[in-house]
């Protein structure tokens, strides 16, 4: 019964998170913050009062989820748009993290009177910005920013977690009493093995993905999860930075010319969404709001230090040549989130004795950051005049579907086709389409109006896409042995009014059907299918063969 109840609760949580994600844009609250709220609702101080204080389990789940989130973050980096700002972004995500951690540590030591070791641990844990929070604000609010700010924030927020993680590991080592020699060795191992295995796994998986075809559709996507796990696990065994390795492998794969990239993007987005729900819900469930009172004052002060001092100092040093408006926005866009809380959990799990409750303080800081900074960021962008109405923020991400604005179609011209022997200028192509190439054997011909079409040519057309709507869909019918259409000509089929054959895929050929076109085994027949809600036409029914 307990397992059944857990399964039902999990289903309820997932449904609540999915619906709240849709709701977040309307009420102006980041979806990730709502996920945490749902966790609190189920937690010790919530209405359901589920007792949960398993930090070790939470650490395992969150660290595993971060692997997928980091990999997808790297995969989403579009090198073409990120290249102009890559130097600034990398400086902010590496040395900028160190500066942020250092300034925050000094604030904790001199103002809040934390111990030196605890101050450094606090600065390290809270030093990175949260990619999920930053991406959520940029995308949901469609912040089309000027001066390359969107790719800069994308790369920086996606790549600074590894350095924050490294600083956290160093802080925990210092709390253990390790000397500077060990710390230096740890830093070198983290960087060297992280970069080495990230590049190696990324390059190797590009080769595998290009040359491997799974027997079952969709199984290729699982290769990317394997790549992320390898990229994390291999360097970690040798003391390397697994998160850095995962991010680098994601960048290499995301910017490589690999098959089925659109399907991969959809798959990774789905898995990453599930991971984000798991992380933020679990963090909310783990929290105890009734104990936040004692941590609220230091949390507010640290939040103000990060927003008004630490982050601006880092942006001033490493983005000093940028306009002051850009630096102001970069400073404000340093949202804290799940990764900082996960690193705080690591400190708790490692059993390091601290005078203050690191987890509660970091949790409150991240809540303040997502709630306050996330809410005012869109207004700040407009106030600073950084909105570019002619841009599209989604184009800064690799998972933006550039194919959505144009579709390429290949038309094979068989012997006897009416277009054979005619010039392109004499052929009436579908409205909105354009012949962009003719493939004639091994030759690729750039077409002109006077170009003559020959038998067995393949005419490559660019055509406007069609967005499927309610009541109309395109679907594929695979013709196998025993199918009633096998061996029949299209004119011999009396199809229902709701069904029309629009294309036949035969190997590498895309055949525009005619009445005399014979349907063969192995063909993929693309049909239109208009239907009423809840009904669908079965291709094996509703037609008769002409005698």
- The pLDDT tens digits of the residues spanning 15-67 come to 998 888 777 766 656 778 889 999 999 988 888 888 888 889 999 999 999 99
User: What pLDDT, on a 0 to 100 scale, did the predictor assign at position 466?
Assistant: 57
User: What pLDDT, on a 0 to 100 scale, did the predictor assign at position 84?
Assistant: 84
User: What pLDDT, on a 0 to 100 scale, did the predictor assign at position 546?
Assistant: 40
Residue 544 has pLDDT above 60, yes or no: no
219 or 24: which leads in pLDDT: 219
The answer to whether domain 56-288+304-396 has CATH 1.20.200.10 is: no
Residue 94 has pLDDT above 80, yes or no: yes
pLDDT band at residue 436 under the 50/70/90 scheme: confident
User: What pLDDT, on a 0 to 100 scale, did the predictor assign at position 393?
Assistant: 55
User: What pLDDT, on a 0 to 100 scale, did the predictor assign at position 542?
Assistant: 40
Give percent above pLDDT 70 in the chain: 87
Residue 5 has pLDDT above 90, yes or no: no
> Do 403-465 and 471-547 have matching folds?
yes
Contact assessment for residue 258 and residue 248, using Cβ atoms and an 8 Å cutoff: no
Question: How do the domains of the chain map onto residue ranges?
Answer: 56-288+304-396, 403-465, 471-547
313 or 490: which leads in pLDDT: 313
User: What pLDDT, on a 0 to 100 scale, did the predictor assign at position 202?
Assistant: 95
Rounded to the nearest integer, the mean pLDDT of the chain is 83
Give percent above pLDDT 90 in the chain: 33
Mean pLDDT of 224-234: 94
Residue 477 has pLDDT above 90, yes or no: no
Mean pLDDT of 306-332: 91
Beta carbons within 8 Å of 500's beta carbon, 6+ residues apart: 527, 528
User: What pLDDT, on a 0 to 100 scale, did the predictor assign at position 39?
Assistant: 92
Dump pLDDT digits (tens) for 334-370: 899 888 999 999 888 886 667 788 999 999 999 999 8
Residue 517 has pLDDT above 70, yes or no: yes
Q: How far is CA 99 from the centre of its chain?
A: 28
Q: Is the pTM of the predicted complex or chain greater than 0.85?
A: no
Q: 11-15, 26-30, 160-164, 234-238: which range is least confident on average?
A: 26-30
Tokens, residue 155: 């790369």
CATH of 471-547, one of 3.30.70.1450, 3.30.420.40, 3.40.50.300, 3.40.50.150: 3.30.70.1450
Nearest to 171 by CA among 358, 46, 41, 326: 358
Beta carbons within 8 Å of 317's beta carbon, 6+ residues apart: 95, 96, 99
CATH number for the domain formed by residue range(s) 403-465: 3.30.70.1450
Q: Which long-range contacts (CB under 8 A, 24 or more apart) does 63-66 make?
A: 63/342, 63/346, 65/275, 65/276, 65/278, 65/279, 66/161, 66/243, 66/275, 66/279, 66/338, 66/339, 66/342
């Amino acid at each position: 019964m307990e397992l059944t109840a857990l399964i039902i609760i999990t289903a309820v949580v997932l449904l609540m998170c999915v619906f709240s994600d849709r709701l977040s844009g309307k009420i102006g609250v980041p979806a990730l913050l709502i996920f945490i709220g749902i966790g609190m609702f189920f937690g010790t101080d919530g209405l359901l009062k589920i007792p949960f204080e398993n930090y070790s389990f939470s650490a395992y789940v969150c660290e595993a989820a971060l692997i997928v989130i980091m990999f997808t973050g790297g995969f989403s980096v579009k090198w073409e748009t990120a290249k102009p700002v890559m130097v600034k972004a990398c400086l902010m995500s590496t040395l900028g993290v160190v500066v942020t951690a250092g300034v925050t540590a000094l604030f904790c030591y001199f103002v809040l009177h934390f111990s030196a070791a605890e101050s450094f641990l606090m600065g390290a844990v809270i030093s990175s910005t949260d990619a999920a929070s930053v991406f959520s604000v940029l995308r949901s609010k469609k912040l089309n920013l000027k001066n390359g700010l969107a790719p800069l924030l994308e790369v920086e927020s996606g790549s600074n977690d590894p350095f924050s993680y490294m600083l956290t590991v160093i802080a925990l080592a210092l709390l253990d009493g390790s000397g500077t020699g060990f710390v230096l060795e740890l830093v070198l191992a983290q960087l060297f093995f992280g970069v080495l295995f990230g590049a190696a796994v990324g390059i190797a998986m590009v080769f595998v993905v290009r040359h491997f075809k799974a027997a079952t559709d969709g199984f290729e996507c699982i290769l990317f999860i394997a790549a992320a796990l390898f990229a994390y696990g291999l360097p970690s065994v040798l003391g390397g930075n697994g998160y850095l390795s995962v991010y680098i492998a994601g960048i290499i794969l995301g910017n490589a010319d690999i098959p089925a990239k659109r399907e991969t993007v959809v798959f990774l987005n789905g898995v990453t969404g599930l991971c984000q729900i798991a992380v933020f819900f679990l963090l909310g469930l783990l929290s105890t709001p009734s104990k936040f009172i004692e941590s609220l004052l230091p949390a507010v002060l640290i939040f103000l230090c990060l927003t008004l001092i630490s982050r601006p100092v880092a942006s001033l040093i490493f983005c000093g040549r940028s306009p002051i408006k850009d630096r102001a926005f970069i400073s404000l866009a340093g949202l804290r989130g799940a990764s900082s809380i996960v690193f705080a959990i690591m400190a708790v799990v490692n059993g390091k004795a601290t005078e203050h409750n690191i987890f509660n303080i970091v949790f409150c800081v991240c809540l303040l950051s997502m709630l306050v900074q996330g809410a005012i960021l869109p207004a700040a962008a407009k106030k600073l005049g950084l909105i570019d109405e002619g841009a599209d923020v989604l184009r800064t991400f690799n998972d933006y579907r550039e194919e959505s604005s144009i579709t390429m179609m290949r038309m094979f011209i068989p012997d006897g086709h009416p277009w054979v022997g005619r010039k392109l200028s004499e052929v009436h192509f579908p409205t909105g389409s354009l012949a962009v190439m003719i493939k004639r054997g091994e030759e690729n011909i750039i077409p002109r109006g006077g170009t003559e079409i020959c038998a067995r040519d393949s005419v490559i057309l660019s055509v406007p896409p069609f967005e499927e709507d309610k009541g109309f869909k395109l679907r594929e019918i695979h013709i196998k042995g025993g199918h009633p259409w096998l061996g029949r000509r299209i004119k011999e089929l009396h199809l229902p009014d709701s069904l029309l054959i629009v294309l036949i895929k035969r190997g590498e050929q895309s055949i525009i059907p005619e009445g005399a076109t014979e349907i063969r085994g192995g063909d993929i027949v693309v049909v239109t299918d208009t239907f009423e809600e809840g009904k669908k036409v079965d291709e094996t029914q509703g037609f008769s063969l002409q005698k």
